[in-house]
């Protein structure tokens, strides 16, 4: 079984450092292959279920990405990520 590497964002968004934080998030997500989660829509379910695995993988990776972002934001700002 392979070890899952966490996404590390070495800066905490505090409200005054958004440009720096945003650059670090983008760089970290690009390095892990998750940048598309910031710019693309999630895959849509096909009626025949042929892409169920793709959807599950996307959701798992999106959760990893969101965890990294939540862990790099000042606690009072976390709910601003909720969609």
Tens digit of each residue's pLDDT (9 = 90 or more) over 28-62:
999 988 898 889 899 998 889 889 999 999 999 88
Domain assignment present for residue 4? The answer is no
Residue whose tokens read 């939540």: 70
Asked if 9 contacts 26 with a C-beta cutoff of 8 angstroms, the reply is no
**Residue 1 has what pLDDT?**
47
**pTM (2 decimals)?**
0.78
Domain assignment present for residue 10? The answer is no
Domain assignment present for residue 33? The answer is yes
Domain assignment present for residue 8? The answer is no
Domain total of the chain: 1
Domain assignment present for residue 5? The answer is no
Instruction: State mean pLDDT over 61-67.
Output: 89
Domain assignment present for residue 1? The answer is no
Domain of 26, in residue numbers: 18-77
Closest CA to 72 of 14, 5, 6, 23: 14
């Amino acid at each position: 079984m392979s070890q899952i590497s966490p996404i590390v964002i070495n800066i905490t968004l505090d409200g005054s450092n958004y440009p720096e934080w945003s650059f670090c998030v983008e760089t970290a997500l690009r390095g892990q292959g998750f940048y598309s989660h910031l710019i693309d829509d999630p895959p849509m379910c096909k009626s025949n279920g042929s892409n169920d695995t793709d959807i599950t993988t996307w959701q798992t990776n999106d959760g990893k990405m969101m965890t990294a972002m939540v862990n790099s934001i000042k606690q009072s700002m976390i709910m601003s990520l909720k969609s």
